Amino acid sequence: SPQYTAENIIRVSEVSVKAGGSISIPCLYSSQYTNHVKYFSCVTQRSGSIDGTEVTINTNVPNVFSVTMRGLKTESSGWYLCVSGNLQFPVRLTVTEQPTTSKVSEVSVKAGGSISIPCLYSSQYTNHVKYLCKGYYWISCTYKVRTDKNNSVTIDTNVRNVFSVTMRGLKTESSGWYLCVSGNLQFPVRLTVTEQPTKSKYYNYKRETYRLMNVCECQ
């Protein structure tokens, strides 16, 4: 599974976890917010709870604070906010009976390193060929790896409803948009390869857009 470190940064937009299990969500921020209070929805301390779910916050990795949620229930599903200063990044959590998966929207990795990207698909695409190609649009996408061919880039389909693509020896010119594809299902991922670890781009989200997050409704 992907490791969340300063040199291998993954911004997660959606996560899915089995009921009763736990999940760690990486929340990114830029250096200017190092001294700001970090919180996840309404949990502002190192530990707390949201609707009875235990939540802990770890800030040991520079520019990333990791939020761990344990004992998740199906009613824990919904939108949550990673917040540092005036930065807000929404994460959608789904708690189901299915194995843990995550949908990645942006990845940053140091040149020469490697990265594993989880690509999700629904059960109806189980028997379709899965592949990763470089490009934002399918019509002009260049194949990098397919499940029905041998490639230098590896692809793993051992986890149900997710195929994991591992890229090694990355160069700066590997940066760009990639498409995870299964059947007619397409999901874009942006990869940035630099000589130094990078910060992901950040966006401010109007809180009223995500009313379901219930930022202040904690137990």
CATH code, 3: 2.60.40.10
Which carries the bigger pLDDT value, residue 43 or residue 77?
77
Q: Kindly provide the residue ranges of all beta strands, DSSP E only, lying in the chain, ordered along the sequence.
A: 8-18, 23-28, 38-40, 47-50, 53-58, 64-70, 78-84, 87-96, 101-110, 115-120, 130-134, 142-146, 154-156, 162-167, 176-182, 185-194
pLDDT confidence of residue 10: 52
Q: What range defines the domain where residue 183 resides?
A: 1-11+100-200
Judge if 88 and 24 occupy the same domain.
yes
pLDDT confidence of residue 179: 83
pLDDT in tens, 117-175: 878 777 777 888 888 888 877 777 787 766 656 555 777 777 777 788 888 888 888 88
pLDDT in tens, 85-111: 777 777 888 888 765 556 667 777 888
pTM higher than 0.75 for the full model?
no
% pLDDT > 70, the chain: 72
Domain boundary among 96, 113, 141: 96
- The number of angstroms, rounded, from the C-alpha of 144 to the middle of its chain's C-alpha atoms is 21
Judge if 147 and 56 occupy the same domain.
no
